[in-house]
Amino acid sequence: MACIAVTGANGFVGRAVCKSLLGKGYKVRALLRRADVAPEFNDVVGLDVRVVGEINGTTDWAGHLTDVQGVIHLAARVHVMNDQSDDPLSAFRAVNVDGTARLARAARAAGVDRFVFMSSIKVNGEATIDSAFDESSPAAPEDPYGKSKAEAEGILWEIAGETGLEVVILRPPLVYGPNVGANFAALIKLVGRGIPLPFGAIGNHRSLVHVDNLADACVTAVGHGAAANKTFLVSDGVDHSIGQMVRLLGEGMGKKPILVPVPEGVLTLLGRLTGKTAQISRLTGSLQIDSRAIRRTLNWQPPVDAFDGLRRTGAWFAAKNS
């Protein structure tokens, strides 16, 4: 069976990708930035763990890509709220653009045929109004993270044209599931506390993707012939309002959340007054993606149901805190 190298293998998505690959019979080479996280994989049968150091434009990939047929590149400098870097765009470019280009060229030089790149829907923008994003939507990134991912995509297409490397780009929206962190973890904690939440009047629509669905899409993309040199938007296929998310998470916890009908304008004003405009926008605004292309082209279907995925995430949180 083919050997697939996975960068960022110890991350939230990376662990799910490695598990999915191993479950489908692939050999997996887990490429990690730090040795201190390598012990997490000591008991994972079939995993070849390598420590490559920091990923940037000077990373030495020598030997790490030998006998590898495909790469799934997940490692990145991730988006964070209130970035404290003096020059955030340069910091993102060093890892997400220069590091990606270095890896892609090294992969092709080592004989790798397929390169799956985890991009982001932030390449297309932060919100949708009249229609969902699809593969034909123009790039319109607004923050340094989104801009760096868009630039990385552009460089990968150049490398593909120059070398014949088969590139597949995946753009997911917010990824959730057991062990999720960041902003979604904060929402789960609010639901778990059982306090009234001011989302009863919010009728927004947000696309999400369960971590196991995204992992399955990665595995499909690395092995399906029709995926070569294409971009796919990936989601669960169902768009939720913030209220529906809260209710489904609550069901998984065995709770019935109290949703207070506070007008969106009031929440927006509160966000401005408290300096949390971006956080409120992510809760109340819409961001929809049309992921039918990957289903049609690769005959892909998400293995985790969109409603059950949220319930399972709530159940995981309840079990962890019982």
Residues annotated as catalytic are 145
Q: Which amino acid is at 223?
A: G
**DSSP class of 77:** P
List all residues 6 or more positions away from 74 whose beta carbon is below 8 Å from its beta carbon. Answer: 6, 7, 8, 9, 11, 13, 14, 17, 118, 218
β-sheet bridge partners, residue 233:
171
**DSSP class of 191:** H
Rg (CA), the chain: 20
Q: Which amino acid is at 215?
A: A
Query: Is 180 in contact with 78 (CB distance < 8 Å)?
Result: no
Angle of the 211-223 helix axis to the 12-23 helix axis, nearest 10: 50
β-sheet bridge partners, residue 50:
31
Burial (Cβ within 10 Å: 0-12, 13-18, ≥19) of residue 241:
middle
Residue 141, both tokens: 């990134």
Write the DSSP assignment of 101-168 as a string of letters: HHHHHHHHHTT--EEEEE--GGGT-S--SSS-B-TTSPP---SHHHHHHHHHHHHHHHHHHHH--EEE
List all residues 6 or more positions away from 54 whose beta carbon is below 8 Å from its beta carbon. Answer: 33, 95
